[in-house]
Amino acid sequence: MFSFVTKRLAFAVLTLILVLTLVFLIIRILPGDPALMILGDQASAASIAALRERLGLDLPLYVQYGQFLQGAIQGDLGNSMVTARPVAEEILAVLPYTIELTVAALTLGVVLGVPAGMLAAVHRNRLPDYLVRCVSLIGLSVPAFVAAIGLLMLFAIHWRWFPVISAGTGDTLFDRFRQMALPTLALALIMMAYITRVTRSAMLEVLSQDYVRTARAKGASQATVVWKHALGNCMIPITTVVGLYLGILIGNSVLTEIVFSRPGLGKLILSALAQRDYTLLQGMIVVYTMMVIVVNLVTDLTYGLLDPRVQYK
């Protein structure tokens, strides 16, 4: 177990270093001078040269790479081009909002998706199955911003049940809940679609196995068979999908945050783009990718907790 965790950690660190390298390459190697992009076409050669020097772009590529890697590993992602504040600080200030939204959406997605997938599997090829499959297919097809705008139009503008702008602050718990509800639901619908599909297929496979037949033969009720005997063995594929799509969920949170004017990484990345703050953009890509790497690591480690048969090798 210990060696497995160490190995997985080492692998995650290696991936992180490679990710940092790729981010560095993307930003430095791509056609287009960052200094020119920041200052615009009309800038004078002198001001471009000055900015290149300030950004360290005049140094040899390997020196820049060394500095970037060293800084990033120490948690220093450089300073924002616009506010001059450390990028890490800017990101940390809004990160909790994005994590809060993602975790809430994930929880809601699991709470809705797992029972829906089980319902579909148990009633295979009957009305509940068709309905669940239809809804999950639409959930898979709807872009995050379309789902968000749809919910906003219906529940915030038309019926006025929820606020249009989810500022992320609220005096009471109820206020917070009201502000979180729509963005969470918009993201959860997509997560739910993925979870429903995998739960259904895993459940169908498990329900056809001998031990389930034995349980039924012993007279166990449908609820006991499904919830107690079958669900446990569906947890591995469900966890895999949750891990796999959490990255997509994190990416989609950008769109949801924009639609609901919610503070978070989404709004920050948008302002980085608008102000051509490329050190901030670079730092944010690193943070987004780090989140995916951490999720993958946690998913791998969870397998053994869920299924004692999984050997950590």
Residues 165-184 that bind other proteins (CB under 8 A): none
Shortest CA distance to 215 belongs to which of 203, 199, 226? 226
Q: Which stretch binds other proteins (CB under 8 A): 70-78, 81-89, 165-173, 277-285?
A: 277-285
- Phi-psi sector, 310: left (phi>0), alpha (psi -120 to 50), beta: beta
**DSSP SS3 for 237:** helix
> Do 4 and 297 contact (CB within 8 A), yes or no?
no
Among 4, 5, 8, 27, binds other proteins (CB under 8 A): 27
Based on the shown chain and the rule CB under 8 A, indicate whether residue 9 belongs to the binding site for other proteins.
no
Asked whether the beta carbons of 77 and 88 are under 8 A apart, the reply is yes
Q: Does 15 bind other proteins (CB under 8 A)?
A: yes
CA–CA distance, 176 with 240 (Å, rounded to integer)? 31
CB 57 within 8 A of CB 282: no
Q: Is 197 in the site for other proteins (CB under 8 A)?
A: yes
The H or E element containing residue 180 is helix 173-207
Residue 156's nearest CA partner among 191, 183, 135, 192 is: 183
Residues 299/132, Cβ–Cβ less than 8 Å: no
| Segment interacting with other proteins (CB under 8 A) among 90-98, 101-109, 139-147, 177-185 | 139-147
- Cα 198 to Cα 172: distance, rounded to the nearest angstrom: 37
Q: Which residue bears the tokens 């993307």? A: 26
d(CA 29, CA 24): 8
252 binds other proteins (CB under 8 A): yes
Give 31 or 219: the residue with its C-beta nearer to other proteins.
Answer: 31
Contacts to other proteins from residues 111-130, by CB under 8 A: 124
Q: How far is CA 292 from the centre of its chain?
A: 7
Residue 30 binds to other proteins (criterion: CB under 8 A): yes
d(CA 81, CA 278): 7
Residue whose CB is less far from other proteins, 38 or 188? 38
For residues 210 to 249, the per-residue mask of contacts with other proteins, x marking binding by CB under 8 A and - elsewhere, is -------------------------------------xx-
Q: Which CB, 106 or 269, lies closer to other proteins?
A: 269
- Binding part of the chain for other proteins, among 82-90, 104-112, 151-159, 165-173 by CB under 8 A, reads 151-159
Cα–chain-centroid distance for residue 215? 38
Instruction: Please select the residue that binds other proteins; options are 9, 22, 61, 298, rule is CB under 8 A.
Output: 22
Q: Do 252 and 267 touch, CB atoms closer than 8 A?
A: no
Query: In this chain, which of 68, 162, 194, 288 binds other proteins, going by CB under 8 A?
Result: 288
Stretch that binds other proteins, among 12-20, 68-76, 94-102, 305-313 (CB under 8 A): 12-20
Closer Cβ to other proteins, 67 or 201, answer by number? 201
Q: What is the distance between the alpha carbons of residues 84 and 86, in angstroms, rounded to a whole number?
A: 7
Instruction: Number of residues interacting with other proteins: please give it, by CB under 8 A.
Output: 54
Binding site for other proteins (CB under 8 A): 15, 18-19, 22-23, 26-27, 30-32, 37, 124, 133, 137-138, 140-146, 149-150, 152-153, 157, 197, 200-201, 204-205, 247-248, 250-252, 254-255, 258-259, 269-270, 273-274, 278, 281, 284-285, 288-289, 292-293, 296
